[in-house]
Amino acid sequence: MNSRRSFITLLGGAAVWPLAARAQQAAIPVIGYLHPDSPQQMVRLVGAFHKGLAEIGYIEGHNVAVEYRWGRNDNDRLPELAADLVRRRVTVIATPGSTAATIAAKAATATIPIVFSIGGDPVQTGLVASLKRPGGNVTGINSMNVELSGKRIGLLHELLPGSTRFAMLVNPKNATTQAQVKDAQAAAATLGRQLDILIAINEGEIDKAFATLIDLKAGGLVVGADNSFFNWSERLATLTLRHALPTVFPFRRDAEAGGLISYGTDLAYAHGHAGTYTGRILRGENPAELPVLQPTKFELILNLRTAKSLALTIPAGILAIADEVIE
């Protein structure tokens, strides 16, 4: 089905921002791209970012350069990587897909513009003053994946109306985990369901978490929105099948890897908008006045092969709203 996504653009100005590149000689502008993962894991999303840049007329190697800094799955490296980009006096720092990278970049500079694409509320995390007028050097896209935790609990309830106990897997080191858990717990309480919270910081702890799930006899699982879990999609999908555990995931990649259902923002579309915003700032617009964008629609991807493996009948209501069905 058609999976085009649209974003609400709140009113904002286009005042000129004093770009660092203007202080340089005739050099082309330089984007600092900061992310906690590895380049091999981000090929598709980096491509989406470049597509957004190209829509504004910026092409890497032609009229813009990009300095990539990768945490290689170690968030503790991000502050030094951000500081390195600042020392190199890049024109803009892009941190699409990572709250941790955005926080590190903001701590490193109050003058170089920063463009994010994150799942949590940027106001609550202190990144911007407001969505309409960010007010500083930081702006971007709020994909709202964190706020969808309750919706994912609701989907699990529709799939398993007879189950009284669910579980949620989260990474306690994620800055948005507390908000995700709060949203999920509120939804579970409204539905009269018990919700157990399990944690995993690394891949080894995922196996322990699933062993606990079996002991708890949880009927279904919701996986929290987290970069580490995004990278472990195949492992998580395999474990949910092995333990016959219906699971709702946050990312399309999870369903494509064999997960039952994913529900969230199209990450490629969000990264594309981050690229577009980066291009607009390169063109001279002021990040303080560029409103934070928010999605108006989310995508539900259903893996029907997995449903059959789980001997699970998908409710007609979920089939009707699925944006894509993998058969």
Architecture of the domain delimited by 146-264+299-326: 3-Layer(aba) Sandwich (3.40)
Number of neighbours of residue 14 by Cβ within 10 angstroms: 12
Helix or strand or coil: residue 125? coil
Whether 146 and 181 have beta carbons less than 8 Å apart is answered as no
pLDDT tens readout for residues 229-253: 888 899 999 999 999 999 999 999 9
Whether 207 and 236 have beta carbons less than 8 Å apart is answered as no
Who contacts 280 (Cβ-Cβ below 8 Å, separation ≥6)?
14, 56, 290
Q: Which pLDDT belongs to residue 22?
A: 42
Kindly report which listed range (13-17, 254-258, 274-278, 285-289) carries the lowest average pLDDT score. Answer: 13-17
Q: Which pLDDT belongs to residue 44?
A: 92
Q: DSSP code of 123? A: T
Measured CA to CA, the distance from residue 123 to residue 292 in angstroms comes to: 10
> Residue 8 — very low, low, confident or very high, per pLDDT cuts 50/70/90?
very low
Can you read off the two tokens belonging to residue 90? 């890049």
Half-sphere exposure of 276 (CA within 13 A, CB side): 15
> Residue 23 — very low, low, confident or very high, per pLDDT cuts 50/70/90?
very low
Residue type for 5, please?
R
Measured CA to CA, the distance from residue 61 to residue 84 in angstroms comes to: 21
Measured CA to CA, the distance from residue 91 to residue 71 in angstroms comes to: 20
Residue type for 198, please?
L
Tokens 């910026």 -> residue: 58
Pairing state between β 114-118 and 92-96: parallel
pLDDT tens readout for residues 95-130: 999 999 999 999 999 999 999 999 889 999 899 999
**pTM of this prediction?**
0.84
| Domain range list for the chain | 7-143+266-295, 146-264+299-326
Q: Which pLDDT belongs to residue 165?
A: 96
CATH 3.40.50.2300 fits 7-143+266-295, yes or no: yes
Measured CA to CA, the distance from residue 153 to residue 156 in angstroms comes to: 5
Domains 7-143+266-295 and 146-264+299-326 share a fold: yes
> Residue 11 — very low, low, confident or very high, per pLDDT cuts 50/70/90?
very low
Measured CA to CA, the distance from residue 306 to residue 259 in angstroms comes to: 7
Number of neighbours of residue 189 by Cβ within 10 angstroms: 12
Q: DSSP code of 56? A: T
